[in-house]
A and B are shown apart, each in its own frame.
Chain A
């Protein structure tokens, strides 16, 4: 996996998002915010934190920012899905959720039993990706 540097990220945002300056600015703000975060905070980033860091007005405006920052050009974040039921917490692969969406059935990661209303038991957050590990410590 190629490492993503702060210079890579900023120059790609500039090149790729010139037609959508609002999205580009929000991406820069998120990038700056990530730079200031301690190691421990980078593995569990909620949507609410990204909303505040990006300074966009609502979740719909956050969508293009997240699409870009989880994509192939600037893979700053991984999306993390966890199945949470009682004390059980298990990571879930996004492809398992794709299958579930198509089949309508999600199987419990440990028991294999079909879980009714599974989307109410899957939580979503973000983690700074391994590729972006070198980003941090200083602002843009």
Chain B
């Protein structure tokens, strides 16, 4: 960036700003949109960003509870300027509530995947207990933390198939182009508002079961350590570093 541009106190054009800092140009338009579609589109970009962080660091998060992972996502969204809360009261305790300055609301239900009945329970909580489906809140999300041996895309495919045979009014589903195979959208007539309610079902990959030598050392350290994270043991850290050679 040329220093002279920054020295001048004249407003940037949007075109200049996109060229100088695409990240900043994108940051500008999140906060106070009145368009629900715009709000949700940007929110999903932010959720995908924190999802990628969690998935990259799934080794250090392997013992995290459902609530801890949810708190991590909420903290990230607060940093992005949303009024986001965990376990807020919405006719019960919704896992994630996100609101922007214009009062647009998105609700999320987080579930550590164990079986599909548990996901169905979460979907029903989201769509029949917490949400109203009002025009300022016509979308929600299922965040599915997947630690099973079954690959995440298989879990999401089966969940999609099982959801599709439920008797939801005016049910339609669609692919997610941002995370194909790991996320999809469902749309159905909301029982309270009667309006279409859209849910983004997001599989978050948290399984960590490496089969290399480093993993064996890590497991041995885990077995030896009682209550102390193996990653904090210098010898194991050293061994893990060398195992990558």
| A residues adjacent to B (C-beta < 8 A) | 16-17, 19-20, 23, 46-49, 51, 58-60, 62-64, 66-75, 78-79, 81-82, 94-95, 97-99, 117, 119-125
Contacts and interface: CB of A to CB of B under 8 A. Distances in A.
B33 interface: yes
Contact of B12 (A47, A68, A74): A47
Contacts of B11: 46-47, 82, 123-125
Contacts of A95: 33-35, 38
B165 interface: no
Interface string B74-114: 01001111110000000000000001110000000000000
Contacts of A23: 79
Interface of B: 1, 6-18, 20-21, 23-24, 26-35, 38, 75, 78-83, 99-101
Given A63-B23, A72-B81, A48 B31 contact: no
Contacts of A60: 21, 23-24
Given A60-B24, A62-B24, 16 more contacts: A59-B21, A68-B81, A70-B28, A70-B31, A70-B32, A71-B30, A71-B80, A72-B32, A72-B99, A79-B29, A81-B14, A82-B11, A94-B29, A95-B33, A119-B14, A123-B13
Nearest to A19: B75
A66 B24 CA distance: 8
Contact of A73 (B1, B30, B78): B78
